[in-house]
Amino acid sequence: MSVQSDASNENAASPAIPGLPPDWPQRATSALVDRVDDVRAKTTGPAISVARMVVYGVVALPLVIMALVLLIIGLVRGLDIALDRVWLAYMILGGVFVLAGLFLWTKRPKGAARQPG
């Protein structure tokens, strides 16, 4: 006899419990699996998302910093070649960075620069 026919014989031979439908083991198993899937989706799903963000951030942050440093170096060299005066390139880029800093300073939250207490 095959394993499948043995299992069907056992199910057919098992007596039904009064008051319960005959497919109650499948329903109970399905309900339990659904609950476990819900709990897993609510716990591991966000944990996996946070772990991915941390990993991508750890990889992306050094690359962004490196790209910004190389961009600034390229801007200084390009302005130096175009203007033929390195001090003027520094002055122009310094002015741009000061203006950007002032703009960001105006966007800060109220009271952010005050000492607590």
- In whole angstroms, give the CA distance from residue 7 to residue 89: 84
Structural domain includes residue 99: yes
Tell whether 77 is covered by a domain: yes
Is the pTM here over 0.75, yes or no? no
- How many domains would you assign to the chain? 1
Q: List the chain pLDDT tens, one digit each, 117 residues.
A: 445 554 454 555 456 778 888 888 899 999 999 999 999 888 898 899 999 999 999 999 999 999 999 999 999 999 999 999 999 999 999 999 999 999 999 999 988 878 776
Identify whether 19 is part of a domain: no
Q: What range does the domain containing 79 cover? A: 25-106
Q: Residue 6 carries which side chain, given as an amino acid letter?
A: D
**20 inside domain:** no
Residues 79-102 pLDDT 10s: 999 999 999 999 999 999 999 999
Residue 74, in any domain of the structure: yes
Residue 12 maps to a domain? no
Residue 2 domain-assigned (yes or no): no
Q: Examine residue 96 and state whether it is found in any structural domain, yes or no.
A: yes
